[in-house]
């Protein structure tokens, strides 16, 4: 690692700076992003008006301490309307506030984003678990879209549908905005069929199971619950969930686990996961929705099996990626994360769910993705 020079050159990045292959560092099966300087922009809310710039950041953005914000204002890393201001400066409503930071993205598992089909208008890939589809939150380069741009020079790309970060499998990306609109219109009109597979706890029923339960997603808790039609209406309560339907068919079972084909008719947040939980057969390594009868030792065993399965999966493992623990990156003396590559709270040890998208089909097209190794119970 390079020690930061006193007058080192700082190159600020914006969303206009594309990810590049050399932006990534691979260590112990984990993909990291080299820290980079980035401008975060916000506009002053009415309730911020009159606060000093340091008080504003100390009160509203508690991820760093007051001393850091004091130094950031003095050094020009926090600016108002593009100008350096004193620590006593009082913010006015609607002003543009820039915070230039040494950005550390969360790590993801070092699995290839395998290209399945590359056409003039459409690209399909096998999305690895733990990697978000597009920039969101703290992720920008460690995304499917970012990796495809860096490693395959594929841009622009327009994701047609979304897969949760911990879900793997088929991802369809349009190569133009007009093609993306065509796909979205078909999805909204109900002419697109989706199929996932899941590895669930226990012996799933042989007969097709149809779950019609409303799904209510709690953004604060990051999880969904289900509501049956009329369950709360009898007590005068209004149902908060959105109508949701999923069809499940057992593919195989060994008594301990079952591989289940999942056909979501609607597309609610965590729909498949919470509907499987409602059947008494949650996804076997889904700690968020596992029922109480699965003890903690089983959960740990499942986590180990899941990670091993992902690492040896020949369909989309990243064994070809270089493991380079000596990669250099600049340490910023003001950064609250340096010298660690990952932000505070991310250790890179999370697993992928045993939930995998295998097929999308429309009026005149079908795209498939190979099954993962965990889908075999032999």
What is the CATH topology of the domain spanning 36-103? 3.10.290
pLDDT digits (tens, 9 = 90+) for 335-370: 988 999 999 888 766 789 999 999 999 999 999 999
Write out the two tokens for 93. 């409503």
Q: What is the pLDDT of residue 63?
A: 84
Question: What pLDDT does 234 receive?
Answer: 56
**Residues whose CB falls within 8 Å of the CB of residue 186, separated by 6 or more in sequence, listed in order:** 192, 362, 363
CATH 3.30.2350.10 applies to domain 108-323+347-375: yes
Asked if residues 217 and 162 have their Cβ atoms less than 8 Å apart, the reply is no
**Is residue 198 scored above 80 in pLDDT?**
yes
Burial call 16-33: b when 16+ CB within 10 Å, e when fewer = eeebeeebbbbbebbbbb
Pinpoint the residues of the chain covered by CATH 3.30.2350.10. Answer: 108-323+347-375
Q: In the chain, what percentage of residues exceed pLDDT 70? A: 83
Question: For the stretch 54-64, what's the b/e string if a residue is b when 16 or more beta carbons lie within 10 angstroms of its beta carbon?
Answer: bbbbbeeeeeb
Contacts of residue 137, Cβ cutoff 8 Å, sequence gap at least 6? none
Q: What's the pLDDT band for 233 if we cut at 50, 70, 90? A: low
**Annotated catalytic residue 164:** yes
Q: Which long-range contacts (CB under 8 A, 24 or more apart) does 337-344 make?
A: 337/35, 337/102, 337/104, 338/35, 338/102, 338/104, 339/1, 340/104, 341/25, 341/27, 341/32, 341/33, 341/34, 341/35, 341/104, 341/107, 342/32, 342/104, 342/106, 342/107, 343/104, 343/105, 343/106, 343/138
pTM (global) more than 0.85: no
State which of 10-14, 161-165, 218-222, 357-361 shows the largest mean pLDDT.
Answer: 357-361
Strand partners of residue 33: 24
- Look at residue 333 and tell me whether its pLDDT is greater than 60: yes
Higher pLDDT, 275 or 295: 275
Cβ atoms of residues 213 and 231 within 8 Å? no
Q: Pick the closest to residue 140 from 179, 115, 108, 172 (CA basis).
A: 108
- How many residues are given for the chain? 378
| Long-range Cβ contacts of 231-239 (<8 Å, 24+ apart) | 239/214
pLDDT score of 169 more than 70: yes
> Is beta strand 168-174 parallel, antiparallel or unpaired with respect to 355-361?
parallel
What pLDDT does residue 236 have?
60
Which ranges in the chain are annotated with CATH 3.10.290.10?
36-103
Predicted confidence at residue 21, as pLDDT, reads: 93
Whole-number mean pLDDT of the chain? 86
HSE-CB for 29 with a 13 A CA cutoff: 16
What pLDDT sits at residue 297?
A: 42
Write down the pLDDT at residue 130.
94
Residue 53, pLDDT score: 97
Counting Cβ atoms within 10 Å, is residue 35 exposed (0-12), middle (13-18) or buried (19+)?
buried
* pLDDT for the residue numbered 292: 53
| Dihedral class, residue 270 (left if φ above 0, else alpha if ψ from -120 to 50, else beta) | left
How large a percentage of the chain has pLDDT more than 90? 70
Q: Out of 55, 70, 164, 368, which one is annotated catalytic? A: 164
């Amino acid at each position: 690692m390079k020690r930061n020079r006193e007058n080192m050159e700082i190159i600020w990045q914006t969303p206009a700076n594309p990810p590049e292959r050399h932006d990534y560092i691979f260590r112990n099966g984990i993909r990291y992003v080299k820290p980079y300087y980035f401008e975060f922009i916000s506009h002053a809310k009415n309730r911020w008006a009159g606060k000093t710039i340091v008080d504003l950041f100390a009160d509203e953005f508690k991820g760093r301490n007051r001393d850091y914000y004091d130094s950031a204002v003095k050094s020009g890393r926090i600016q108002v309307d593009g100008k350096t201001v004193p620590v006593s400066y009082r913010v006015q409503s609607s002003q543009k506030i820039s915070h230039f930071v040494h950005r550390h993205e969360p790590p993801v598992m070092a699995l290839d984003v395998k290209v399945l089909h590359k056409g003039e208008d459409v690209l399909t890939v096998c999305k690895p678990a733990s990697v978000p589809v597009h920039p969101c939150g703290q992720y920008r380069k460690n995304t499917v879209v970012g990796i495809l741009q860096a490693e395959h020079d594929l841009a622009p790309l327009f994701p047609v549908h979304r897969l949760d970060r911990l879900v793997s499998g088929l991802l369809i990306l349009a190569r133009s905005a007009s093609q993306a609109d065509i796909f979205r219109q078909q999805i909204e009109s109900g002419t697109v069929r989706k199929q996932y597979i899941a590895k669930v706890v226990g012996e799933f029923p042989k007969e097709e199971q149809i779950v019609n339960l409303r799904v209510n997603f709690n953004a604060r808790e990051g999880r969904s619950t289900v509501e049956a039609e009329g369950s709360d209406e009898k007590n005068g309560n209004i149902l908060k969930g959105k109508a949701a339907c999923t069809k499940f068919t057992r593919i195989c079972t060994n008594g301990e686990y079952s591989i289940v084909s999942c056909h979501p008719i609607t597309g609610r947040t965590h729909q498949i996961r919470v509907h499987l939980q409602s059947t008494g057969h949650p996804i076997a390594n889904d700690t968020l929705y596992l029922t109480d009868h699965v003890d903690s030792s089983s959960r740990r065993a499942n986590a180990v099996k899941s990670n091993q399965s992902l690492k040896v999966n020949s369909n989309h493992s990243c064994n070809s990626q270089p493991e380079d623990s000596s990669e250099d990156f600049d340490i910023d003396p003001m950064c609250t994360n340096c010298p660690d590559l990952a932000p505070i709270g991310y250790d890179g040890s999370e697993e992928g769910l045993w939930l995998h998208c295998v097929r999308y089909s429309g009026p005149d097209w079908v795209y498939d993705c190979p099954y993962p190794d965990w889908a075999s119970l032999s």
